[in-house]
Amino acid sequence: MKKIYILTAIMALGTMFSAQAFDWKTDGERLGYKVSFMGLTAGNAEIFFQPHDNGDYDVICRAWSTSRLVSIKDRLVIQGTMSDQYGHAFAPRSTQLNLNENDYRANKQVHYKYAKGQKDGVRYEKLVAAEYDNLRDTLDAQLYDVAENTRDVFSALYYLRHTVKNLEVGQTYTLPVWDLDRGYDLQLKVLEKENFKSMFGKQDVFVLQPILVSSDGGKDKVKDSWRMRVTADGKMIPVEIYVDLPLGSFKARLKRYGDAEFASEAPEDLPLFPKTEDKK
């Protein structure tokens, strides 16, 4: 029994260290979360980041329920470029949101529009507009002017992981972000540094508070109650996401982590990319 226990422990340690023995910027990553609501298991979620040889990237977020009381299969697909040919790294080109929650369905997408720009004698593609389209209605797509360095929320977070070497307690990082048909400023406050037990064992983490401030200065009170824990090892891996809602608390804790080739637990009827749906 003792030999089996020691062997199991060694295998567990090997898994823990091998899970981080890669560079997410070149090898990609897959993060699997256990999702709970008010302390009860509600389902699972996954964030998949895939870099490509040409400098492009995909970020695909999927969530699915495990309870018989509700049926949820949601997906968000983001595609962009990691290079600075668009004036800034992690520039999105499109996002597509598919929601399948009980009887509710949604299929919404955003295409980002770029124009020729020049800075310090160097030509590049600069972001000028975002085109929002709800594919499940008959209305025409809406075009919105956006700030040049705007990103979607996930691209903004990956940009920070890519550029910020060391987080500092008390620091606030602010970036303009676009969410479907409206713009915000994403304020990411570094609240504290603490020791936290995650799937990697006990380690130092930073506690972050993301706040979305709308263009008119008003705060989204729900998102004001977010907390996020990321590893303090320079990789800033999100190990826990916590949201305090009016009717209870929502928590997602990291349970699986690996590179882009790491196996997914997502159900077969929730593939990485959606089927093409024509506008009604």
Those residues of the chain that have pLDDT short of 70 are 1-20, 84-87, 215-224, 276-280
pLDDT of residue 217: 55
pLDDT of residue 241: 94
Give residue-wise pLDDT tens across range 207-232: 999 988 886 655 554 455 789 999 99
b (16+ CB within 10 A) / e for 238-276: bbbbebeeeeeebbbbbebbbbbebebebeeebeeeeee
pLDDT of residue 87: 59
Give the chain's length: 280
HEC secondary structure over the chain: CHHHHHHHHHHHHHHHHHCCCCCHHHHCEEEEEEEEECCEEEEEEEEEEEECCCCEEEEEEEEEECCCCCCEEEEEEEEEECCCCCCCCCEEEEEEEEEEECCEEEEEEEEEEEEEEEECCEEEEEEEEEEEEECCCCCCCEEEECCCCCECHHHHHHHHHHHCCCCCCCCEEEEEEEECCEEEEEEEEEEEEEEEEECCEEEEEEEEEEEEEECCCCECCCHHHEEEEEECCCCCCEEEEEEEECCEEEEEEEEEEECCCCCCCCCCCCCCCCCCCCCC
How far, in Å, CA of 159 to CA of 22, rounded?
A: 18
> What does pTM read for this prediction?
0.86
pLDDT of residue 223: 52
Nearest CA to 204 out of 226, 227, 229 is that of 229
